[in-house]
């Protein structure tokens, strides 16, 4: 498979870089624990709904693994304008929205995590719009 050379608009590069940073925060063991603790504290300080996230040490493996996968996907996206890969990214963003919504509603995940839902929706919508502007690449 030959990958199309990256010719990404600046706003798409920025979205990918932001997502890579967010994923990176969850990719490293100690950093992910700190980020989750801060999110718990901010959620409580703002009086938002939801129970603090408390994970067993072994559960952080999955947090870190998902973070690493996100960093890897975003690294690939920065190097290509291939529509198929960017559509995979939009689909992955939709999956994250669904998962976060489920855990917020069904398992009392702190409401502060809805900020990630907003980030995923905005990033996915802007990416989809960019793909559509490229002569039907979004379909």
**Which residues have CB under 8 Å from 125's CB, separation 6+?**
none
Q: What is the pLDDT of residue 134?
A: 87
Burial of 15 (0-12, 13-18, 19+ CB in 10 A): buried
137 pLDDT higher than 70: no
42-55 pLDDT, tens digit each: 999 999 999 999 99
Per DSSP, the three-state class of 43 is: helix
Q: What is the pLDDT of residue 16?
A: 98
């Amino acid at each position: 498979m030959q990958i199309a050379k990256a010719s990404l608009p600046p706003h798409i590069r920025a979205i990918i870089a932001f997502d890579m940073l967010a994923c990176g925060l969850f990719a490293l063991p100690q950093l992910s624990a700190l980020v989750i603790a801060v999110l718990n504290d901010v959620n409580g300080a703002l009086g938002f709904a939801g129970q603090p996230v408390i994970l067993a040490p072994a559960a952080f493996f999955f947090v870190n693994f998902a973070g690493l996968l996100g960093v890897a996907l975003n690294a690939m996206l920065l190097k290509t304008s291939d529509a198929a890969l960017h559509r995979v990214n939009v689909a992955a963003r939709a999956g994250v929205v669904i998962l976060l919504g489920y855990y917020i509603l069904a398992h009392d995940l702190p409401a502060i995590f809805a900020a990630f839902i907003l980030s995923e929706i905005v990033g996915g919508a802007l990416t989809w719009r960019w793909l559509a502007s490229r002569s039907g690449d979004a379909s």
